[in-house]
Amino acid sequence: MVTVLVLTLLPVPAVADTKNALRLRNGAKEKLCLECHEGFKEKLKKSHVHTPLAKGECTGCHNPHTSSHDLLMNAETKDICYQCHDHMVSEGAASAHQVVVDGQCTACHDPHAADNRMNLIRSGSDLCYGCHKELGHKISDSKFQHSPVKKDCLKCHNPHASSDHANLLVKGVPGLCKTCHQTNKTTFKKIHMNYPVDKADCTSCHDPHGSNIAAMLYDNVHQPVSKGMCKQCHNAPESAEPLKLKQEGYKSCQGCHYEMVTDTLNLKRIHWPVIDSKGCLNCHTPHASAAGGLLLKPQKTLCAGCHVDTIARQERSSAKHPPVDEGDCTACHDPHGSDNQFIMNQSSVMDVCGTCHDWQSHSSHPIGNKVVDPRNKNITLQCLSCHRSHGTEYKHFLYYATTNELCIQCHTGYRR
Amino acid sequence: MNCASNAIQDIGGKTMKKRFLLFIGLLLLVVPGRPSIAHGAKIRYLASVYSDRQGAGLKYPEGVACTEKLLFVADTGNSRVVRYTYEGRAITGQAEYLLPNSSPIKLAVDSHGYLYVLDGRERRIAVIGMEGKIEGYFSPKGVPGSRQVVPRSFAIDHNDMIYLLDIFTRSVLVLDRTGRYQRQLPFPKGIGFFSDIAVDRQGTVYLLDSVAAAVYAAPANSDDISLLSSNLREYMNFPTNMIIDRHGIIYLVDQHGSGLALLNKDGSFLGRKLSMGWNESQLYYPAQICISKQGYMFIADRNNSRVQMFSLEEK
């Protein structure tokens, strides 16, 4: 409300210069600018011309004399566009396109004229792939492709915002999918083992952008799904609650992954989410995933979901530790649990670091399980005595700004 | 104080002294309650505990509990609990309670002197008597609809009611000391992950969301857990343990930030105390905290393999 009030009070000139505030001579309004900006004569021939330009109202957006903004704009791009095109993102929208939120309207639209509808600078999905390059490659390279995706992203997505749905979807899932896919057909039911998946989230198994697995299942499919063994985990399809799991939490998975789950439960330090009500599903999807190990998301994003402080530390760090930076958290940690500190996958910190770093040639400084830390008789000198593995603001992940400052922590006799 | 009294007598004799005492009395009446510890808190380092009475070193201790005279340490890496007595800053090892194959991670003492030990490996709570023998395992009875309980943490109030932070049923189970079910406080929606629970003298239940760095609370006898304090992420990294002092100040152990964060009883942030390091009075991935009635604070300084003792002094 306050924002609206402030915006209302801002001295942004009206787009339509109806009152001729510049007191242009008669007939000059449409032609005066074009006398110098000849290139625009060609632009005006394009099939889609922005209305103010078509009316010759260049001053709706530009100040002919001076401006505090680039291109003699009257105000920030976003503010100018929103003068006429308000409500691009409704209040409380479930999702919004970042470029829209940032007011980068010209990333997609030509404010003067274009050959494409809505003054889009490129047509169809090509425009989207300008930014979403990786997705574009995936869509074109997939063995099993989704035809609407090939045609136009806007079949499923709203380019500005979605008031009710995530991922800018024009409709929720499965409603959106059901606009094309008929779920009452016998073949559909048979393929889905007679489970009422018409009410479920199709994207928990299918990759709507295409995949290399038949039926556009995500590239990594859980074996019971690919074998149609839904009953392994779910109630029978004819039961009152067919989609309900037979067991709660990790117990759902323990039947098949008995050894792994049992071993995990016996560890001294368990990763607590493994044994909460959601259990394995905190990190894994039970059906299919684009990420390896049936992870819900790529590892770095997944771990950062809870350990945002750790990932943020790395982002701030002047030096980057490749396993953290590349999202390979399991290079050092066991995500299920461990008998070791920090649920590390080896008991000795030196051994963990030694997997990549040849610490024996690192320096002549005595370190190891037999070298007592002079500051504390209960701990020994190891890699983490000097380096913070997730990063610091100093070089080499050191805890202190200078090497001298680090050394005098133990070598107190050299303190000045 | 003596100097001040003498000076007053020198100036105006007994009348002046009476006036001074009256002034002090009025001042105490005007000031609302006792000064909050956090506003003028001074945490002063007193001592560190590195070993038991035999000289065997502590290894990654994660739990501490204290009474007016006793200090219990969950020596997690050595699968045992060590009992100490303390007087002033002198801490003396007394006994060890061996808990083979266990991973003791949190301790609490009830009003009868029984020690409750949460074993992170078996996810169960051992009850140890004053003689150091395991009397049994605390077992919830009569919890409606529940087939399994996974205690992530627990707290004991001054009436010896036990509050179990059960991450399997996603609720706080309130049980009497025999384990009999009393009531259940379901977790609210949209939380990150509850790691710890505390109960203050008024019976308010506090829950610590480590992921969101937020504190939730439920008033005494209410089953409604609601957000007390959010947006603490900018002040701390990953808090995992919590205690409430007698003034209602909430002490959060910021394990990944190796320090303490203090909140007022309304959840507002008061400040940080202590910092990361290996020297005495510094912390390195601390775990549990306890505060005695006399105002001594003990912290299980996990990755420094020691317990540190501080005094909380009001300025």
Output DSSP code: residue B247: T
- Report CB contact under 8 Å: A378, B303: no
The distance of A305 to chain B (nearest Cα, Å) reads: 8
Q: What is the DSSP string of A318-329?
A: SS--HHHHTT-G
Mean pLDDT of A279-286: 97
The distance of B226 to chain A (nearest Cα, Å) reads: 20
Q: In the prediction, which pLDDT does A40 show?
A: 80
How long is chain B? 315
How far is Cα B80 from Cα B97, in angstroms, rounded to an integer? 6
Query: Does A262 touch chain B if contact means CB atoms closer than 8 Å?
Result: no
pLDDT digits (tens, 9 = 90+) for B161-185: 999 999 999 999 999 999 999 999 9
How far is Cα B133 from Cα B156, in angstroms, rounded to an integer? 20
Beta strand ranges found along A2-83 (DSSP E): 48-49
- Report CB contact under 8 Å: A268, B148: no
Mean pLDDT of chain A: 89
Q: In the prediction, which pLDDT does A359 show?
A: 74
Question: How many other β-carbons are positioned within 10 Å of the β-carbon of residue A259?
Answer: 9
pLDDT-based confidence at residue A30 (cuts at 50, 70, 90) = low
Note whether B284 and B258 are within 8 A (CB): yes
Query: Does A309 touch chain B if contact means CB atoms closer than 8 Å?
Result: yes
- Report CB contact under 8 Å: B305, A379: yes
Q: In which element (H, E) is residue A7 found?
A: helix A2-9
How far is Cα B161 from Cα B179, in angstroms, rounded to an integer? 9
Note whether A227 and A299 are within 8 A (CB): no
Residue A55, pLDDT above cutoff 90? no
Candidates A342, A360, A336, A361; CA nearest to A350 is: A360
Question: Nearest by CB to A306, which of B58, B150, B211?
Answer: B211
Query: Does A248 touch chain B if contact means CB atoms closer than 8 Å?
Result: yes
pLDDT digits (tens, 9 = 90+) for A355-402: 999 877 777 788 988 999 999 999 999 999 999 999 999 999 999 999
Candidates B48, B45, B43, B46; CA nearest to B307 is: B48
Note whether B160 and B110 are within 8 A (CB): yes
pLDDT digits (tens, 9 = 90+) for A84-109: 888 788 888 999 999 998 889 999 99
SS3 of A217, please? strand
Partners of residue A375 in chain B, C-beta under 8 Å: 278-279
β-strands B250-254, B259-263: how paired?
A: antiparallel
Query: Does A270 touch chain B if contact means CB atoms closer than 8 Å?
Result: yes
- Report CB contact under 8 Å: B57, A399: no
Partners of residue A272 in chain B, C-beta under 8 Å: 152, 167, 193, 195
Output DSSP code: residue B45: E
Query: To 5 degrees, how large is the angle CA B242–CA B79–CA B61?
Result: 35
**Token pair 């099993």: residue:** A144
Sign of CA dihedral B39, B45, B50, B51: negative
Mean pLDDT of A202-216: 94
**Tokens, residue B130:** 């004053």
Give the residue from A247, A378, A384 with the most B CB atoms within 10 Å of its CB, the best one to mutate. A378
- Report CB contact under 8 Å: B257, A273: no
For residue A137, CA distances in Å to A112, A209, A210, A296 come to 31, 11, 11, 22
Chain-centroid distance of CA B192 in Å reads: 22
Give the residue from A376, A384, A389, A397 with the most B CB atoms within 10 Å of its CB, the best one to mutate. A376
B29 exposed, middle or buried (CB, 10 Å; 0-12, 13-18, 19+)? exposed
- Report CB contact under 8 Å: A249, B168: yes
For chain B, 315 residues long, give each residue's pLDDT as a single digit of tens.
333 333 333 334 444 455 544 444 444 443 333 334 444 568 999 999 999 999 999 999 999 999 999 999 999 999 999 999 999 999 999 999 999 999 999 999 999 999 999 999 999 999 999 999 999 999 999 999 877 999 999 999 999 999 999 999 999 999 999 999 999 999 999 999 999 999 999 999 999 999 999 999 999 989 999 999 987 999 999 999 999 999 999 999 999 999 999 999 999 999 999 999 999 999 999 999 999 999 999 999 999 999 999 999 876
Question: How many other β-carbons are positioned within 10 Å of the β-carbon of residue A400?
Answer: 14
Note whether A314 and A321 are within 8 A (CB): yes
- Report CB contact under 8 Å: B60, A276: no
pLDDT digits (tens, 9 = 90+) for A221-239: 999 999 999 999 999 999 9
How far is Cα A42 from Cα A39, in angstroms, rounded to an integer? 6
**Tokens, residue A354:** 């030694």
- Report CB contact under 8 Å: A248, B256: no
Higher model confidence: residue B118 or residue A25?
A: B118
**Tokens, residue B185:** 């406080």
Question: How many other β-carbons are positioned within 10 Å of the β-carbon of residue B222?
Answer: 14
Q: What percent of chain A has pLDDT over 70?
A: 94
Question: Nearest by CB to B121, which of A268, A307, A341?
Answer: A268
Q: In the prediction, which pLDDT does A392 show?
A: 93
Q: In the prediction, which pLDDT does B4 show?
A: 36
Candidates B20, B91, B104, B116; CA nearest to B310 is: B91
**Token pair 């989704």: residue:** A146
Query: Does A361 touch chain B if contact means CB atoms closer than 8 Å?
Result: no
Residue A255, pLDDT above cutoff 70? yes
Partners of residue A249 in chain B, C-beta under 8 Å: 148, 168
Note whether B216 and B228 are within 8 A (CB): yes
β-strands B70-75, B63-66: how paired?
A: antiparallel
Partners of residue A250 in chain B, C-beta under 8 Å: none
Note whether A214 and A140 are within 8 A (CB): no
**Tokens, residue A160:** 């500005």
Task: Enumerate the β-bridge partners of residue B66.
Answer: B71
**Please, what's the b/e burial string for A281-301 (b: 16 or more CB within 10 A of its CB; e: otherwise)?**
bbbbbbbbbbbeebbebebbe
Query: Does A276 touch chain B if contact means CB atoms closer than 8 Å?
Result: yes
Q: In the prediction, which pLDDT does B30 show?
A: 39
- Report CB contact under 8 Å: A306, B304: no
Q: In the prediction, which pLDDT does A125 show?
A: 86
Q: How many CB pairs under 8 A join A and B?
A: 78
The distance of B112 to chain A (nearest Cα, Å) reads: 29
Reported ipTM: 0.86
How far is Cα B32 from Cα B153, in angstroms, rounded to an integer? 35
Q: In the prediction, which pLDDT does A64 show?
A: 85
Q: In the prediction, which pLDDT does A20 show?
A: 66
Residue A114, pLDDT above cutoff 70? yes
- Report CB contact under 8 Å: B60, A341: yes
pLDDT-based confidence at residue A298 (cuts at 50, 70, 90) = very high
Candidates B259, B57, B104, B276; CA nearest to A384 is: B276
Residue A4, pLDDT above cutoff 60? no
The distance of B246 to chain A (nearest Cα, Å) reads: 31
List Cβ neighbours of B313 (8 Å cut-off, separation of 6 or more).
B41, B42, B43, B44, B295
For residue B103, CA distances in Å to B35, B95, B124 come to 39, 18, 10
